[in-house]
Structure 1
Amino acid sequence: MDLNLKINEKDHVDIGGADANDLVEEYGTPLYVIDEKRIRDNYNRVFSAFTKYYNDFKILYACKANTNLSVMRILEQEGSYIDAVSPGEVYTSIEAGFSPDRILFTGNNVTNEELSYVDETGVLINLDSISQLKRLSKLVDPEEYKISFRVNPMVGAGHHEHCITGGVMSKFGIMESEAAEVYKMAKNMGFNPVGMHTHIGSGILDPEPFKLATETLMNIAGDVAQNADVDFEFLDLGGGLGIPYEPQENILDINKFANEITGIFKGKLDEYGMGKPSMYIEPGRYLVGDAAYLLTKVNTVKQSYRKFVGVDAGFNTLLRPSMYGSYHHIVVANKANEEAIEEIDVAGNICESGDLFARDRPLPKIEEGDLLAIMNAGAYAFSMSSQYNSRPRTAEILVNNGDSEIIRERETFNDLFNKQIIPERLKK
């Protein structure tokens, strides 16, 4: 178990050397607080584990998890590459300082305009379908144009059905049974296919599905290498590495995991005579998920048919509990060592019955004015936030060795009207 919870001598939650209570005094609530050192440590833990067993290894940060420019700059400085799934993520990555050769674009159901834009940036395109291949061939000169393909193996895993991205129900990638023919088709068009990619799901703590997916991908790549005469520059195993959200969950043993995955990878390279292509993986949640907290103030304690604690954040701020039924550990930040004495529902401020951060959660006695710290809020948190109920999005701050800085300003009511235009006839 490792929920990355630290408590200082005042019994307050400590985030990156800063007292959570002091932070909200300065910046207000709700507030996302990101620990810079934790991101750097997470990246280097993965990189060190894999390069111990396979030297030509690259981490592609799955930036849909968190596209804050400061977060991306931290990872750029550490040497990360980028897994981008939209033209906007490509644009953001370049703005954050990533050179095009460090970005892999894997889109699905993309338009011709999006393909053209991505082509103009110079990043490598990882194609999701035969449709994309045919359309790209009309937009660029295929002669020696490097591409990759996402393959959908008959393996899927994830913490929620919406997060399973492999198998018969998945919308992603080309079928493994057609892979060799698709690569042949691409070569006949003049393209130079240099990579293969897969991704089976998200939030995976059991390494077995990932090991099976790796073996499957390597078998598909071996078949393509031999039957379509493809010399791979890289093989991308995708992402999905999970973190423990609940106290009873165990952290992924990254060293053992890296040893097992690289063992499969190298064994299959030898079996099929595929040389030594680069190995890519695409962690997102693992790098940033446990590096952030959402701090939110208790404004209401209400005994109705159930006991509710109401806070000043909602699913517009953190969507995962409402969307996926996800568990996020909650600590009373101003009395973090107090024992739980009752089961409480923690409710947000959105006008929806589903706006709950927790149901029947064991917590200490909570009073109005207390500060709650919602943990593991670095991935798919702010990036999925909205202005629903006309609530401005919250601020983000970065903490480094106790010092804090604003990295995203809190929105105001005026931001709710950004880009809106009232026709003149409606102003009369």
Structure 2
Amino acid sequence: MDLNIKINDKGHLDIGGADAVDIADEFGTALFVIDENRIRDNYNRFYNAFSKYYPDFRVYYACKANTNLAVLKILEEEGCCIDAVSPGEVYTSKKLGFDGDRILFTGNNVTTEELKFVYEQGAVINLDSVSALKRLAEVIDPNGVKISFRVNPMVGAGHHDHCITGGVMSKFGIMESEAVEVYKLARELGFNPVGMHSHIGSGILDPEPFKLAIESTMDIAGKVHQEAGIDFEFVDFGGGVGIPYTPEESIVDIDKFAEENIKLFKEKLEEYDMGNPTMYLEPGRYLVGDASVLLVRVNSVKQSYRKFIGVDAGFNTLLRPAMYDSYHHIVVANRMNDEAVEKVDIAGNVCESGDLFARDRMMPEVEEGDLLAILNAGAYGFTMSSNYNSRPKEAEVLVKDGECFVVRERETFDDLFNKQIIPDHLE
């Protein structure tokens, strides 16, 4: 088991050197708790693994995974770059100190106004379609502007169908058959196309799908280089490196992962005489997924046709189990050494039958008042949360060497009214 689980001498869950029970008592539940050192360790492990084999390497954090300002600032300090998929993510990253040349914007179905905004922010734009290319040329002076294109490498992988982003069913990227002409068109319009991007999916633990994607993407890039005369400054293979969610899964051997994929990358560079473009990768989940825990309190134990453990959060707080049928390991944070003795369903407080964090999960005998920790909640946790059922969003706390800092205040009922207006005729 490698789920970043630490237990202190009280038999409680340890998060970043702090006692989970003490954290919950001080800040309340439900609560996202972020381990700062884990994020830093994850980033440096990832960067060092790849840069060791190919020094001209950059990490672009897929910030859609977690846009908490403290998380972004931690990664900015480490020298990370940003993979942004919306104007809001570009704006937020700029506010946190990321220069435009450290932000790659890869949107899809982007409006013309959004394209113009992102350009004005100084981010490098990675275009997803011919339409976006032409519309961008209409609202800026394209002369010499560096851009990139996302291609569909016809390779798809991921932990769920909704997370597979390559192949014939994917809405993303330009087709291989049109790549050469699209790059030529970009030049004709005055742009300076310097990059190529691909992304095959999310939650990948095996290097083989990545190797297929690198091979396919590099074949497309090689053809564009030879037939359109493009000298690439960078090739970006997206993200998708996974983390273990279940006790049976093993953490990715990131050094082996890097060695095998960079070996193939170098071979393809030599095959197509492409020089030494910078290699980009866009981890999101790998950097932040196992750095956060969702603490929830047991408010109900009900023996119905099944035994339900009811907690004070729902899929409005953590959507992944309901949306993707995702597994999150759950532990009793105040009794970590107790053995699992029974199967239970762990249910949220949203008025939906699908609001379950776990079905038929082996757990210790859970009592009302116990503190549960839903692990690996750092990626696509808070960022996908909502106010469904008119529930205020949870607080977030950052832990650094045992010291806790509130990095997002808990919403109140009054926050539910923000930006809403009742017309005068209804007053």
Q: 2:412 matched to which residue of 1?
A: 412
Aligned 8 A contact 2:64 2:383 in 1: yes
Q: 2:77 matched to which residue of 1?
A: 77
> What SS does the corresponding residue of 1:10 show, helix, strand or coil?
coil
Deviation of 1:425 after TM superposition, in Å, equals 1.0
**In the alignment, residue 412 of structure 2 is paired with which amino acid?**
T
> What SS does the corresponding residue of 1:196 show, helix, strand or coil?
strand
| Residues 227-278 of structure 1: CA deviation (Å, up to 9, x unaligned) | 0000100000100000000000011110001001110111111111111110
| Residues 11-70 of structure 1: CA deviation (Å, up to 9, x unaligned) | 100000000000011000000000000000000001110111000000000000000000
| Residues 178-222 of structure 1: CA deviation (Å, up to 9, x unaligned) | 111111111111111000000000000111111100111111111
Aligned 8 A contact 2:296 2:371 in 1: yes
**In the alignment, residue 231 of structure 2 is paired with which amino acid?**
D
**In the alignment, residue 28 of structure 1 is paired with which amino acid?**
G
| Residues 347-367 of structure 1: CA deviation (Å, up to 9, x unaligned) | 000000000000000000000
**In the alignment, residue 8 of structure 1 is paired with which amino acid?**
N
**In the alignment, residue 329 of structure 1 is paired with which amino acid?**
H
* Mapped partners of 2:23, 2:314: distance in 1: 20
> What SS does the corresponding residue of 2:251 show, helix, strand or coil?
coil
**Equivalent runs, 1:76-225 vs 2, <5 Å:** 76-225=76-225
Deviation of 1:143 after TM superposition, in Å, equals 1.4
Deviation of 1:97 after TM superposition, in Å, equals 1.2
Q: 5+ unaligned residues in a row in structure 1: which ranges?
A: none
> What SS does the corresponding residue of 2:334 show, helix, strand or coil?
helix
> What SS does the corresponding residue of 1:335 show, helix, strand or coil?
coil
Q: How many residues align?
A: 427
Deviation of 1:96 after TM superposition, in Å, equals 1.4
Q: What's the TM-score once normalised by structure 1's chain length?
A: 0.99
* Mapped partners of 1:315, 1:226: distance in 2: 50
**Equivalent runs, 1:1-400 vs 2, <5 Å:** 1-400=1-400
Deviation of 1:138 after TM superposition, in Å, equals 0.6
Q: 1:424 matched to which residue of 2?
A: 424
> What SS does the corresponding residue of 1:113 show, helix, strand or coil?
helix
Q: 2:402 matched to which residue of 1?
A: 402
Deviation of 1:140 after TM superposition, in Å, equals 1.1
Aligned 8 A contact 2:58 2:278 in 1: yes
* Mapped partners of 1:34, 1:89: distance in 2: 20
| Residues 359-380 of structure 1: CA deviation (Å, up to 9, x unaligned) | 0000000000000000000000
* Mapped partners of 1:288, 1:179: distance in 2: 34
**In the alignment, residue 356 of structure 2 is paired with which amino acid?**
L
* Mapped partners of 1:177, 1:329: distance in 2: 43
Aligned 8 A contact 2:207 2:260 in 1: no
* Structure 1 range deviating more: 184-193 or 355-364: 184-193
* Mapped partners of 1:226, 1:140: distance in 2: 29
Deviation of 1:93 after TM superposition, in Å, equals 0.6
> What SS does the corresponding residue of 1:58 show, helix, strand or coil?
strand
Aligned 8 A contact 2:315 2:355 in 1: yes
> What SS does the corresponding residue of 1:373 show, helix, strand or coil?
strand
* Mapped partners of 2:4, 2:418: distance in 1: 37
> What SS does the corresponding residue of 1:345 show, helix, strand or coil?
strand
Q: What's the TM-score once normalised by structure 2's chain length?
A: 0.99
> What SS does the corresponding residue of 2:90 show, helix, strand or coil?
helix
* Mapped partners of 1:331, 1:380: distance in 2: 20
* Mapped partners of 1:211, 1:403: distance in 2: 41
* Mapped partners of 1:116, 1:188: distance in 2: 20
Q: 5+ unaligned residues in a row in structure 2: which ranges?
A: none
* Mapped partners of 2:100, 2:147: distance in 1: 14
* Mapped partners of 2:272, 2:332: distance in 1: 55
| Residues 317-339 of structure 1: CA deviation (Å, up to 9, x unaligned) | 00000000000000000001111
Aligned 8 A contact 2:56 2:279 in 1: yes
**Aligned alpha-carbon RMSD (Å):** 0.5
* Mapped partners of 2:182, 2:392: distance in 1: 46
**In the alignment, residue 133 of structure 1 is paired with which amino acid?**
L
Identity %: 72
Deviation of 1:141 after TM superposition, in Å, equals 1.2
**In the alignment, residue 245 of structure 1 is paired with which amino acid?**
Y
* Mapped partners of 1:121, 1:64: distance in 2: 18
* Mapped partners of 1:116, 1:23: distance in 2: 44
* Mapped partners of 1:80, 1:44: distance in 2: 10
**In the alignment, residue 203 of structure 2 is paired with which amino acid?**
G
Deviation of 1:110 after TM superposition, in Å, equals 0.5
| Residues 286-312 of structure 1: CA deviation (Å, up to 9, x unaligned) | 000000000000000000010000000
